[in-house]
Amino acid sequence: MCRPFALGVIGMVRVFVNGFGRIGRSVLRAWALGAAPGVEIVGINDIATAESCAYLFEYDSVFGPWRGRVALEPGALVVDGRRVPLSHQRDLSVMDLSAVDVVMECTGRADSAEVAGRGLSAGARRVLVSGPSKAAEAVVVLGANEDALLAALAAGKRVISNASCTTNALAPLVRRIGAEWGIATGYMTTVHCYTGSQPTVDAAGPDLARSRAAALSMVPTSTSASRLLDLVLPAYAGRIEGSAVRVPVASVSAVDLTVMTERPATVAAVNESLRAAGGVIGWTERPLVSSDLRARPESIVMALPETVVTRGGMLRVFGWYDNEWGFSNRMLDVAQLMA
C-alpha cells in the first residue's frame, strides 16, 4: 500500500518513544514495516517490564502477531535484527536525550508543562504529544494546518500536539469541503471503538455513562474533536459541534459529518472532490464494514456510497479511520516535519 502523505526527507530524524502503549507500539510496528524511511527510532521508554513490552509488541489482539522476529537483549528490544534501546524510567528528565531530535510523548499523561517538558529537560530538541495537551504550544493536523507547524517551529515552539485521532480524521475533511463549498454550520458524530479509558466491567467513574462495561453497550459521550478543530481551523471556529458514541468494537472508528454548505453541492461533485483529495484522505466505493479498514494508514477513508445531499441543501459524508494505525502513521509523518 502506498504511503498516503509524501514527505521530502532531509537527513535522518532521531525519535525517542516515551510510552509503549497502543500508540507507542503501533508507531514501532509502522516504522519497522517501513512507514517512515526518514526516521530512526533511537529508544523506547516504558515503566512496564521488558518482557511485557516485547510480548505485547509481538502479540497484538488487534493487528495480529508480528510476522518477523522479536527478541530481548540486555537493555534493548530487537525487531527483525534492528536493536532499539529500551529503558524503564518513570521520569524522563533523568535520562540523557541530547542526541534526540523528537520525543514522541505517548504516555497519555502529558497534560501539564512539567510532564510534557521532561523530554526537553533531558536534552531533546522537541516533543510531539500523541493527543490533546494543555501544555502544547501548537496543535497540528496534516492535511489541515501543517503550515501552522512550520510557523510554530520557526517561532521556537518546542512542544507540539498531534491532536486526536478523530481530529486527524475530521479536520482534513472539513478543510476540503469548506474550500469547495463553504460551511455555514454542521455537526459531527464519531462512532468510536472502545478505548483503555473505559472499563471492561461496570466500575465507578466521573463519567457515569463511560463507567459502564465497554464491550456490552453503545455509550454516548463527548469528544475533544470540536474544540481541537477550532484550534486547527480557526476559520471554522464555532461552526461545527460534535459528540461521540463508543461502540463494542476494538478497532476502527467512523466520522459521520453533516453540514449546511454555503454554496450548492451535489453528490457527484462531492465524491469527485473526495476522490481527487489524495494525501491523508482515502476513499472507497465498496460496501465495507469497520474491520475491513483495519491497518489503513490514511487519516480517513471516505465511504463514497454514503454521501447524501438533502433537498434543503444539507450535505452528509461518512468516513472510516483506524484510530490507532492511521494516527500512529501521522505521528511518524509529523516527527519528520518537526526535524
Residue of 53, 106, 165, 193 marked catalytic:
165
How far is residue 130's CA from residue 162's CA, in Å, rounded to a whole number? 6
Residue 40 CA to residue 311 CA, distance in Å, equals 52
C-alpha cell at 299: 487519516
DSSP 8-state symbol, 90:
S
Nearest to 324, CA basis, from 4, 26, 3, 21: 26
Q: How many CB atoms lie within 10 A of CB 93?
A: 15
3-state secondary structure of 32: helix
Q: 146-182 burial by CB neighbour count: b if 16+ within 10 A, else e? A: bebbeebbeeeebbbbbbbbbbbbbbbbbbbbbebbe
CA torsion, points 98, 119, 5, 328, in degrees to nearest 10?
Answer: 130
The amino acid present at 159, given as its one-letter code, is V
53 carries an active-site annotation: no
Write the DSSP symbol of residue 61: T
Q: If you search the block for the grid coordinates 517538558, which residue do you land on? A: 117
CB-count burial class (<10 Å; 0-12, 13-18, 19+) for 96: exposed
Residues labelled as active-site residues: 165
